[in-house]
Amino acid sequence: MTARSMPEQTLELAAFVPFRLNRLADGVSQHLAVVYRKRFGLDIPQWRVMATVGAKQDCTAQYVAASTRMHKTRVSRAIAELEARQLIERASSSDDRRARQVRLSRSGRRMYSELVPIALEREATLLSCLGPDQLAGFLVGIETLERFLRLED
C-alpha cells in the first residue's frame, strides 16, 4: 500500500477525549446549575464565589479568582451581584487599601449551609453510578491530567 493510497486518517468526534470531556463537564454542570438557579437564584460564577468564600472567610477577590480559575472580571461582577443581594460583605483591608476582604453575611451563611449538602448530595448521586474501583480509577485519571496541565490550585 503506497502513501498515495493510504486511507485518510479520520477522527470520530464521539471518540475524541477532549470533546467527550467537554460534553461530560457540560452535562454535569447542567445537572447542578438547575438547582443553583431555580432554588437559589445563583448562576455558576456566583455559586463558585459562594463556595469559595464560604470555605475561606475573609479572602480577597484575587484569591477567589485564583482558586476558581475564573477571570478576575467575572469574579468582580459575581461579587458585585452577591453584595447587592446582601449575601456577602466587603470590608477594606487594613494593610492593603487596594484589596477588600470578602466574607459571607448572615443570610449568605444561611444560604451556604443549605447549599452545601445539596451540592454534595448531587455529586454523590452522580458518582454513585461508578463502582468503588471505577471511581478510584477515574479520580486518579483526573488527578494525573490536572497535574499534567498544571491545573491544581
Contact 42, 50 (CB under 8 A): yes
Q: Which of 73, 128, 152, 153 binds DNA (CB under 7 A)?
A: 73
Residue among 26 and 58 whose Cβ is closer to its own copies: 26
Which partner in its own copies, DNA, none is near 79 (CB below 5 to 8 A by kind)? DNA
* C-alpha neighbours within 13 Å on the C-beta side of residue 40: 26
Contact with its own copies (CB under 8 A): which of 4, 38, 69, 97?
A: 69
Q: What angle do CA 51, 39, 79 make, to 5 degrees?
A: 40
What's the rounded Cα separation, in Å, for the pair 24 and 19? 9
Closest separation in Å from C-beta 38 to its own copies:
17
Whose Cβ is closer to its own copies: residue 1's or residue 13's? 13
